Chain A
Amino acid sequence: MGERLKIGISACFFHADAQRPIFTGKTLQYIEQSVAHWVASQGALPVMVPSPLGDTSRGTVGFDDYAAWLDGLVLMGGSDMWPGHYGEEPLKPQWNGDRIRDEYETALARAFIGRAKPVFGVCRGLQVLNVAFGGTLLQDISLLQPQSLTHRSAELYDRHFHAVEFVPHSRLAQLYPGTERVIVNSVHHQGINRLASDFVVEARCPDDQVIEAVRWRGPSYVAAVQWHPEFHKPAEQGVIDDAPILKDFLDAALTARAR
């Protein structure tokens, strides 16, 4: 496919913390190795896009420069969103979320969408995209929808699984011909409440109808899943093979580059 596709991965933050024994007062930005390796598993070149914002910010290079150079963006999982970004107050202090990361990732996603380059969201990434397009979140699934299945297990972490069902005829369903139901990991306590108006649901948890995959109806590729493809071990019994999802995203990046 010629030169490898260059895929940006959004950063997670360890904010400056006076209690931390090292890097006291310093903000760290990181990615999980597994996300980079998942993106690389089909030949794309992953890089982490550092946030140009923050107290040490300098210079004029910004989000659009990254969007101009890179071929696509993956928003990775992590902390909650700040409820203020969808017009709510945090119901508990531990659900305050990461307002700084919200603003960085929303600006980054908008820059890529503005250039019609594909954006794929993982877990928190799905939530960020839903909010960026006008939707809202459940601040805590077990509090607000107590009849729901458990979507996060502190003990099992990424070894906690449940079923999802594809919405028939959706793009996601087309990527898995003949398959209606798969098993995915589940490491989230928040979920979509009100779907963004231009989004379609592509998969749900059959036990409680929690939204597990979405896609934008707009002109460029914006899609996201509530699970973590990067934690799945290929060929595990019943667990979804995420390769077709990654391939679809990278094909969109290739198409965008060819334009």
Chain B
Amino acid sequence: MNARDPHERPLLIGVSSRIYTPGTAGINVSGIWTKNLHYLEQSVAHWVLSGHAMAVMIPAVTKDSIVTRSDLDLDDYAHTLDGLLLQGGNDVAPETYGETPLHPDWAGDRVRDRYEIELIDAFVRAGKPVFGICRGLQLLNVMFGGTLLQDIATQRPASRAHRDGSTFERHFHGIELVPHSRLAQLYPGVRNATVNSIHHQAIKDLAPGFVVEACCPDDGMIEAVRRNGPSYVAAVQWHPEFHVPGDPDNFNDAPLLSDFLRAARETRAARAA
């Protein structure tokens, strides 16, 4: 791998928005919030910055928008930016993979699904890399034809806990890298690792054309995936941005980020050529 030139312009990575709609559960801050908000959790931006890339958040266009698609065309973001990072967040709506919610709490966020699916589609068509975190893994799996478990604890009661409301990002479990996968190649000599785990949904049926790159050895839950195909599409079920850098108990996500950014740099170089 080529060493990065510190003088080159940083890569431009778009981060999808979390969307707060007034009157819904969500950020639940004090005060009256009458406006639609688009937000990110700051460490996700800082994680991107750690790889000498600039993070910017891409605003959403929703059904009550005053602007039209022609004003805010997501293809223009795919054209301008070098890669897309999908943040974690709300559940994917079961309707997006042909199911109905088994419980009202699992109705998910269709507005965000539609926005992010359009965004992913734009980046994939432009040949730009897409990396998914947690919900991002689930949405990528759904978008390319897979399905989700609406609630691991209900539908796979024998599974280990994948979310702990009291410890949040300090809840960890082991993962096993699939030998010879791209992910395993990024971590030579590593077979088992420890990651945080903050999700109650997971992949049920893997999307056609996807390969599993890591699993939870306790219950076989899928923890990392990659799409076979001309462009880079990969995702992890954990939250790399919450791992504390330098903490020996935390997975070192830097090689993962470098690989995503390398793909972004290659597509930029290919366009410039």
Contact = CB atoms under 8 A, between A and B. Distances in A.
Interface of A: 3-4, 6, 8, 11, 14, 17, 20-24, 26-34, 36-38, 40-41, 43, 45-52, 54, 56-61, 65-66, 68-69, 157-158
Contact of B59 (A47, A50, A51, A69): A47
Contact of A41 (B37, B67, B77): B67
B72 interface: yes
B102 to A, nearest CB: 22
B6 to A, nearest CB: 8
Interface string B69-97: 00110001100100000000000000000
Contacts of B14: 47
28 contacts: A22-B27, A28-B39, A28-B40, A28-B41, A28-B42, A29-B40, A30-B38, A30-B40, A32-B36, A32-B38, A33-B35, A33-B37, A33-B38, A34-B66, A36-B38, A37-B65, A37-B71, A41-B67, A47-B57, A50-B15, A50-B57, A51-B42, A58-B49, A59-B50, A59-B52, A61-B49, A69-B9, A69-B12
Contacts of B62: 33
Given A36-B72, A59-B50, A69-B54, 4 more contacts: A14-B39, A28-B39, A61-B53, A66-B54
A56 B45 CA distance: 9
A192 B261 CA distance: 45
A81 B171 CA distance: 37
Nearest 8 CB-CB pairings of A with B: A30-B39, A36-B59, A50-B45, A58-B50, A47-B56, A48-B57, A33-B36, A56-B43
Contacts of A27: 41-43
A29 B18 CA distance: 10
A50 B56 contact: yes
A14 B29 contact: yes
A91 B54 CA distance: 39
Contacts of B168: 24
B156 interface: no
B52 to A, nearest CB: 6
B59 A30 contact: no
Contacts of B10: 61, 65
B47 interface: yes
Interface residues of B, number: 49
Interface of B: 6, 9-10, 12, 14-15, 17, 20, 27-29, 34-43, 45-47, 49-62, 65-67, 71-72, 76-77, 80, 168, 241, 245
Nearest to B62: A33
Given A69-B54, A157-B34, A56 B42 contact: yes
A31 B245 contact: no
A79 to B, nearest CB: 11
B19 to A, nearest CB: 8
A36 to B, nearest CB: 3
A4 B34 CA distance: 30
A98 to B, nearest CB: 14
A59 B46 contact: yes
Contact of A33 (B29, B42, B59): B59
A212 B51 CA distance: 42
The CB with the most chain A CB atoms within 10 A, among B12, B51, B67, B77, is that of B67
A52 B40 contact: no
Contact of B245 (A6, A52, A58, A69): A58
B71 A46 contact: no
B42 A45 contact: no
Contacts of B77: 45, 47
A46 B59 contact: yes
Given A14-B29, A28-B27, A37-B65, A48 B38 contact: yes
